[in-house]
Amino acid sequence: MSTVSAVVVCYNHARFLREALRSVDAQSRRPDQVVVIDDASTDGSQGLIREWAAASGLNPTVILHAENRGPCPTFNEALRLVDGDLIAALAADDYWLPDKLRLQADVLDAAPAAVGVVYSDVPIVDELGQTVAESFLNSYDAPSPRPAGAVFESLLDHNFVPGPGAMYRRACVDEVGYLDERLQHEDWDFWLRIAAHFEFAYLDADVARYRRVAGSLVGRIAKSAYVVDYLRTLDKLSAERLPWHDAVRRKLLSLASELCAEGGSDARWALRLRIKHETGPRKVALALVTLYGLVPPRVLNQIRKLKVQRG
């Protein structure tokens, strides 16, 4: 039977922290390792973690930052401490149901090594724990039946894997590496890189709750910042010459075109990406845009509005 490592990451989640930590303690399949990291919370979270660690029988590894490092470096720090065969991660504003680890570990233990991730749908709750959406996957436009097996192209269209509803093999991290610390919204990048090398399994079971919190980092990130992160991910994937290279390129050009049309501070960077990945006459036309004075504003606006052809 595989060993399971549970990772809990906290930043100013004192309101929800007890529920999250209790949900780790309450697992019917006890984790073999627990790593809890607080990223310099200022709301009393560190004291709550100390109290829980002293009372818990899980013998957790606890790391309390004195200075805030951000979500990706903090989570990567936890991953570097993990020694289990399987990994389940929990943001401290979410929580698991008691059979989460048992059910998902059983799926991966029974699956071939090519299956790297098992995920389940989860309801979305508010700060009071009231359900605001019955299905995370429906909220993120995941197709039905739920994607399983080779899910790369499905993930390319929809970032539908809920963090608290997933478990993955340590071998996935060994293969694709850690979270990209340049990104603000890193999970799509992580799941896509894994999906390029591993299959996913879908488990239809109630395993966790995903909490939507007003003022959270996810809520504060502007749409354009998401698009920038997605473009960085797609640019990396394009360089790998994957079997889905054409689909990656089309997605990149579509998002870059959107960012160019918005005309914000990242528009010129997005334009350079379009030039890098375009071909033929369209590449030449876009290249002229970078030469000041050679393209009238009217033509520039037309170029920005060009729709990326599919196929």
* Residue-level pLDDT at 225: 82
Mean of pLDDT over the chain = 89
Model pTM score: 0.87
**DSSP secondary structure string for all residues of the chain:** ---EEEEEEESS-HHHHHHHHHHHHT-SS--SEEEEEE---SSSHHHHHHHHHHH-SS--EEEE-SS---HHHHHHHHHHH--SSEEEEEETTSEE-TTHHHHHHHHHHHS-TTEEEEE----EE-TTS-EEES-HHHHTT--SSPP-BS-HHHHHH-----GGGEEEEHHHHHHH-S--TT-SS-HHHHHHHHHTTSEEEE--S--EEEE--TT-HHHHS-HHHHHHHHHHHHHHHHHTT-TTHHHHHHHHHHHHHHHHHHTSTTHHHHHHHHHHH--HHHHHHHHHHTSTTSS-HHHHHHHHTPPPPP-
What tens digit of pLDDT does each residue of 227-269 get? Answer: 899 999 999 998 888 899 899 999 998 898 888 877 778 888 8
What tens digit of pLDDT does each residue of 72-131 get? Answer: 999 999 999 999 999 999 999 999 999 999 999 999 999 999 999 999 999 999 999 999
* Residue-level pLDDT at 173: 97
